[in-house]
């Protein structure tokens, strides 16, 4: 797919890196020549220096033949105008804009074809807030991903020594909990993936990926994590866009303290938040301040500043001082890969949080949802099975007859709509029907093209 990306900032760079790894034809536009040339040297993409709202620059970037335009510049107004130029002048089929303002991002005439012609809006701050909310609602999980409009979930859990799964084989664990329909699709011990076999023994500290329906989500998390303790006390380091958005969303749900080193920002936070949210002026990595504010009593400490080093240091300090769980917002991918699962429980990248929202537009075939996992190395895909036994590689076939690429695993089938909808954990003799939503886990992205082909309909398949 030919994709043009406007903006070589942290979000644009991460999006370009992820999409370039999948052999897409990527061109990135930015006014900073040094940054563009550095990206050309590091990634397999083409760079164009200039103003992305100018038709001449867009033409130079290959807009006449592009399949998708993604506007990730820092300014909402620039992204809107660029999308309009992409659609009106060059007829690019799909346009995506990063918009921070809620007033500009609301669906309506402003974004429709007659307006700025934006097909999809992405907001990293909003994506990160949703991500954190899932972790607050399900504190045992490292990651909670949603499929089929919330009917099915893929969750990542670190096994504790109190878990029923610790020191048990996958088969014995399943036999011990027949009341829960779930499917373990991956187990990682450090960077090593273990075979998904009934005889595989899981240890405390292993990271387990499980697909489960919504009704069984909490029980599944409890038996795998070995504990259930709700999040009631939260401390947020950093009162920027993400910190303020999150603090607002937690009003009435948790007791919240928010810290920022900028006095004027603290005064603004105090006017924007109710009195029960305590806004504090100070350094987020100040040990004395964290002790005075009882960081050791916090169920969750969140470092959400714009500085990766501050976020890493403050979360490590908060963990040492007794915070039950810590999360750091880390923009640099190398830092996030290094810190995940160390002294920091969870490392979140704003750019990585929006990758899945874009991937569903890039995927071939009838793809309904995509989630990037394990810092982008693995992926979970939800596709819709269409056609019949003559035209489809899925429809009318038993699960055991489907030729899955090595390392790809069929996790669940969501069948039906509305009240009649059910989530099936498929067995070897389960027959896939047309219209089924099929969720597949891929340990490596190199399997992607073969998995996409499963959902493509051909009149001459047989």
Lowest mean pLDDT among 49-58, 223-232, 304-313, 368-377: 368-377
pLDDT of 169 strictly over 80: yes
Q: 336 and 381, same structural domain?
A: no
More reliable by pLDDT, 344 or 118? 118
**Domain assignment present for 462:** no
pLDDT class of 223 with cuts at 50, 70, 90: confident
Mean pLDDT to the nearest integer, 207-213: 93
Q: 114 and 63, same structural domain?
A: yes
**Domain assignment present for 134:** no
Report strand pairing: 378-384 vs 437-442: antiparallel
More reliable by pLDDT, 104 or 275? 275
pLDDT of 189 strictly over 60: yes
Highest mean pLDDT of the ranges 231-245, 353-367, 433-447? 231-245
Q: 264 and 178, same structural domain?
A: no
- Mean pLDDT, the chain, rounded, equals 88
DSSP structural state of residue 115 = T
Q: How many CB atoms lie within 10 A of CB 119?
A: 18
* The Cα angle at residue 309 between residues 72 and 311, in degrees rounded to 5: 80
What is the three-class DSSP state of 63? helix
Q: Which residues pair with 27 in a beta bridge?
A: 4, 46
- CATH number of the domain that 267 lies in? 3.40.50.720
Lowest mean pLDDT among 37-46, 249-258, 345-354, 410-419: 345-354
Mean pLDDT to the nearest integer, 157-180: 89
Per the structure, the complete domain to which residue 426 belongs is given by 363-454
pLDDT class of 335 with cuts at 50, 70, 90: low
CB 188 within 8 Å of CB 252: no
Per-residue model confidence as pLDDT tens digits over 193-205: 999 999 999 999 8
**Domain assignment present for 92:** yes
Per-residue model confidence as pLDDT tens digits over 20-48: 777 789 999 999 999 999 999 988 899 99
End of a domain among 225, 258, 280? 225
pLDDT of 15 strictly over 60: yes
Q: How far apart, in Å, are the Cα atoms of 372 and each of 18, 94, 334, 378?
A: 10, 21, 16, 6
Q: 411 and 308, same structural domain?
A: no
**Domain assignment present for 268:** yes
Q: 376 and 342, same structural domain?
A: no
Between CA 413 and CA 431 the distance in angstroms is 10
Question: How many domains does the structure of the chain reveal?
Answer: 4
């Amino acid at each position: 797919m030919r994709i043009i990306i406007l903006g070589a900032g942290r979000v644009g760079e991460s999006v370009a890196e992820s999409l370039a790894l999948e052999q897409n034809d990527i061109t990135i536009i930015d006014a900073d020549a040094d940054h563009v040339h550095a990206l050309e040297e590091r990634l397999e993409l083409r760079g164009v220096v200039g103003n992305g709202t100018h038709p001449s620059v867009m033409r130079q970037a290959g807009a006449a033949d592009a399949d998708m335009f993604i506007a990730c510049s820092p300014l909402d107004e620039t992204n809107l105008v660029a999308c309009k130029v992409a659609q009106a002048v060059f007829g690019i089929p799909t346009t995506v804009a990063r918009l921070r303002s809620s007033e500009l991002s609301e669906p309506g005439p402003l974004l429709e074809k007659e307006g700025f012609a934006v097909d999809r809006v992405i907001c990293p701050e909003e994506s990160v807030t949703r991500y954190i909310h899932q972790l607050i609602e399900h504190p045992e999980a490292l990651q909670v991903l949603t499929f089929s409009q919330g009917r099915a979930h893929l969750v990542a859990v670190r096994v504790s020594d109190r878990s029923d799964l610790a020191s048990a084989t996958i088969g014995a664990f399943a036999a011990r909990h027949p009341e829960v329909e779930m499917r373990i699709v991956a187990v990682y011990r450090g960077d090593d993936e273990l075979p998904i076999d009934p005889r595989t023994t899981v240890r405390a500290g292993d990271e387990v990926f499980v697909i489960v329906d919504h009704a069984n989500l909490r029980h599944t998390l409890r038996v795998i994590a070995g504990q259930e303790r709700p999040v009631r006390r939260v401390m947020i380091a950093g009162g920027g866009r993400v910190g303020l958005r999150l603090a607002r969303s937690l009003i009435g749900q948790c007791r919240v303290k928010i810290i920022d080193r900028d006095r004027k920002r603290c005064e603004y936070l105090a006017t924007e938040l109710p009195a029960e949210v305590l806004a504090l002026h100070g350094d987020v990595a100040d040990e004395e301040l964290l002790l005075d504010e009882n960081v050791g009593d916090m169920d969750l400490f969140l470092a959400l500043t714009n500085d990766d080093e501050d976020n890493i240091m403050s979360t490590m300090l908060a963990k040492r001082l007794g915070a039950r769980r810590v999360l750091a917002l880390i923009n640099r991918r190398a830092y996030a890969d290094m810190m995940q699962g160390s002294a920091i429980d969870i490392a979140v990248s704003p750019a990585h949080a929006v990758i899945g929202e874009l991937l569903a537009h890039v995927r071939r075939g009838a793809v309904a949802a995509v989630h990037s996992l394990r810092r982008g190395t693995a992926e979970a895909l939800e596709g819709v099975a269409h056609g019949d036994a003559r035209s489809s590689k899925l429809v009318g076939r038993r699960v055991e007859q489907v030729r899955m690429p090595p390392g790809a695993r069929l996790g669940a089938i969501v069948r039906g709509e509305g009240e009649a909808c059910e989530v099936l954990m498929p067995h070897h003799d389960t027959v896939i029907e047309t219209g089924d939503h099929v969720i597949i886990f891929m340990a490596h992205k190199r399997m992607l093209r073969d998995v996409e082909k499963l959902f493509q309909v051909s009149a001459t398949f047989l």
